[in-house]
Structure 1
Amino acid sequence: MKLVIVEGIPGSGKSSTARFISLQLERNGVQTELFHESTFQHPILLEEVINNSEQWQASYLSKWKKFISNNADMQTVCVFESVLFQSPIINLLHLDTDQSEIIRFIDEILSSLSTVDCSLVYLYQNDPGVGINRMMATRGGESWLENTYEKYKHFPYYKNRGHSGKELHLKFLDDYSKIAGHLFSECRINSIGIDNSNWEWDQDYGTIMSFLGHDICPDPEISLEELEVFIGFFRSDELGLTIQIQMGKDGLYIFGDQKLKPRDKNKFYLDNISMSLEFLFNGESNPFEVLIYEKDIVGNRNDIGSKFIKITN
């Protein structure tokens, strides 16, 4: 079994990086499977809410061990985000677990990976505030901070610190960064740290793929005129969901602000959501349906994908 795990603080670009790695490995002839945080029936991340630290650790470690045991002979490279640092740190910090206990627990996960060919890509900033402020800017600024604090303030981390307001969530993120940074510095698996403070992705992606031993194969180029045939509304009665594909100034978009990037002439993907789309033609110049074929909690929960029939332009 081979794993590539992408880690970093929330908003550091983990999802886009995981997608990029998976796609580049695929284009280099490596069979891959990508597991975003939004993947339906995720093999590692816990779906149930557990409000006891010891029970949470036991359940999470059990899922790791089950995944490793069940896939020991797998030839596919599995690309994960957030399963080694982010999920344990955030969930256990919410429960106000002692930081030394969090570190010990993640060391236990690392020990269970000793038999696995595992590589870690860690995205960081020397000043964690750079990444935190960037994330806030893209997610709504002070209103995002307020909403996030309101969402999580019932957890022990916030209760035990006197509910001092939204700024407490900034301390939470700083605590997260310190724990993750320590874990990376002591990490015993094959790893690379990428300081993405300057958001220079072309350079960073080149460094990552060199670390993984593969070349970069760019997305196919499709003109805006060629992309126009994909515009329209598509409906899945099974899911009770209608999606709109629309044209932006630089390409196709779905869900309003999510850019569809070309995987092939009629296949597209999203960076940060577990969703790929294939437009199907039936001898016509315009597609009659679109198939979403990655398992996602919103757009597709089926192994064979979900069909959306075109209803209008």
Structure 2
Amino acid sequence: MACSTTSSHADQFIAPRLVIVEGIMGSGKSTTMRFIAKRLQETGTEAQPVHERTDPHPVRATDELEHWFEPWRDATAAQLAQRALARWTAFVESMRTGVAVVVMDGQLFHGDLTHLLLMEAEPALISNYVQAVAAAIAPLDPFVLYFWQEDVDKAIRTVCAERGDEWVAYQVNWKLAAPYCVRRGFAGLDGLIALYRDYRRMTDHLFEQLPIAKLAIENSERDWPAYEKRILRALRLPG
């Protein structure tokens, strides 16, 4: 897979003000976000971890909507993309006077972009939105870490087994009620897997197009010591 290696941009990477950890649910984003923030702090760098559940969240645009859980009830995909880009732009402006490195759990893909897919946004709108966000965050010298799994079916079934029936029902009831899933007849766990196959195809392409420092890791084996060494090497942090 083309995006499974460090991009040439990573060789030029020196000191990010923003690190974004991406991947599907259960891929290790939150744990890795905390790991990176801790390692930065150990070097004397002020680092601020931002979890996907941080409230208020600095960039998540659906927080502004009445039905944040079902944004298709309050906005069009184009309106949500515009709101999200405005939030990213304001976030970058707020970072100009600070010194901390923000380490973010998702939000470039996992977050508002997921909702854009669920809202059946056109591929061109999604691509243009991500490129606009990449341009907006460029002053922060961002770095994107992307976890992916060759076998999406196995990855989703594994995380669902680990997190239990209640969590699976929560994911199914929320995501499969969205226009994208209803139109395609997605239902149950198989429907959730089908959604994430589509999501991963989309994010693979978007990641490959990112004009910023980045690293992709296929982490199905869950060999975290090996992955952490690669991450620290890409970030030029002590191992």
- 1:33: Cα distance to partner? 0.7
> 2-side partners of 1:165 and 1:29: how far apart?
47
Structure 2 partner of 1:300: none
TM-score (norm 2): 0.83
> Residues 209-239 of structure 1, C-alpha deviation per residue, up to 9 Å, x if partnerless?
11111124xxxxxxxxxxxxxxxxxxxxxxx
* Alignment partner of 2:57 out of 42, 49, 68: 42
* Alignment partner of 1:83 out of 103, 107, 125: 107
Aligned length: 215
* Alignment partner of 1:119 out of 140, 143, 165: 143
Structure 2 partner of 1:200: 223
> 2-side partners of 1:16 and 1:115: how far apart?
26
- Give the RMSD, CA atoms, in angstroms: 1.8
Are 2:37 and 1:22 aligned? yes
For structure 1, which segment, 57-66 or 98-107, has the greater mean C-alpha deviation from structure 2 after superposition? 98-107
Are 2:116 and 1:92 aligned? yes
Are 2:161 and 1:137 aligned? yes
Letter of the 1:176 counterpart:
Y
Distance change >3 Å, CA 76–CA 144, structure 1 → 2: closer
Structure 1 partner of 2:8: none
* Alignment partner of 2:128 out of 89, 104, 113: 104
Letter of the 1:5 counterpart:
I
> 2-side partners of 1:44 and 1:18: how far apart?
16
- 1:104: Cα distance to partner? 2.1
> 1-side partners of 2:170 and 2:56: how far apart?
27
> 2-side partners of 1:18 and 1:93: how far apart?
24
> 2-side partners of 1:81 and 1:147: how far apart?
20
Distance change >3 Å, CA 199–CA 97, structure 1 → 2: same
Contact 2:176-2:187 within 8 A present in 1 as well:
no
Letter of the 2:220 counterpart:
S
Structure 2 partner of 1:148: 171
> 2-side partners of 1:113 and 1:165: how far apart?
37
Structure 2: gaps (5+ residues): 1-15
> Residues 243-291 of structure 1, C-alpha deviation per residue, up to 9 Å, x if partnerless?
xxxxxxxxxxxxxxxxxxxxxxxxxxxxxxxxxxxxxxxxxxxxxxxxx
- 1:151: Cα distance to partner? 2.6
Are 2:236 and 1:213 aligned? yes
TM-score (norm 1): 0.64
- 1:64: Cα distance to partner? 0.3
For structure 1, which segment, 90-99 or 76-85, has the greater mean C-alpha deviation from structure 2 after superposition? 90-99
Structure 1 partner of 2:10: none
> 1-side partners of 2:114 and 2:54: how far apart?
18
> Residues 130-149 of structure 1, C-alpha deviation per residue, up to 9 Å, x if partnerless?
322221221226x6444422
- 1:68: Cα distance to partner? 0.7
Structure 2 partner of 1:128: 152
Structure 1: gaps (5+ residues): 217-313
Helix, strand or coil for the counterpart of 1:79? strand
> Residues 1-36 of structure 1, C-alpha deviation per residue, up to 9 Å, x if partnerless?
710110011110000000000001001111111100
Contact 2:186-2:194 within 8 A present in 1 as well:
no
Q: 4+ residue runs of structure 1 moved beyond 6 angstroms?
A: none
Structure showing greater radius of gyration is 1
Alignment of 1:277-288 (within 5 A): none
Alignment of 1:176-191 (within 5 A): 176-191=199-214
Identity of aligned residues (%): 28
Structure 2 partner of 1:260: none
When you count helix as a share of all residues, which structure comes out higher?
2
When you count strand as a share of all residues, which structure comes out higher?
1
Q: Which protein, 1 or 2, shows the higher relative CO under an 8 Å CA cutoff with sep ≥ 6?
A: 2
> 1-side partners of 2:151 and 2:189: how far apart?
20
Contact 2:152-2:193 within 8 A present in 1 as well:
no
Distance change >3 Å, CA 147–CA 36, structure 1 → 2: closer
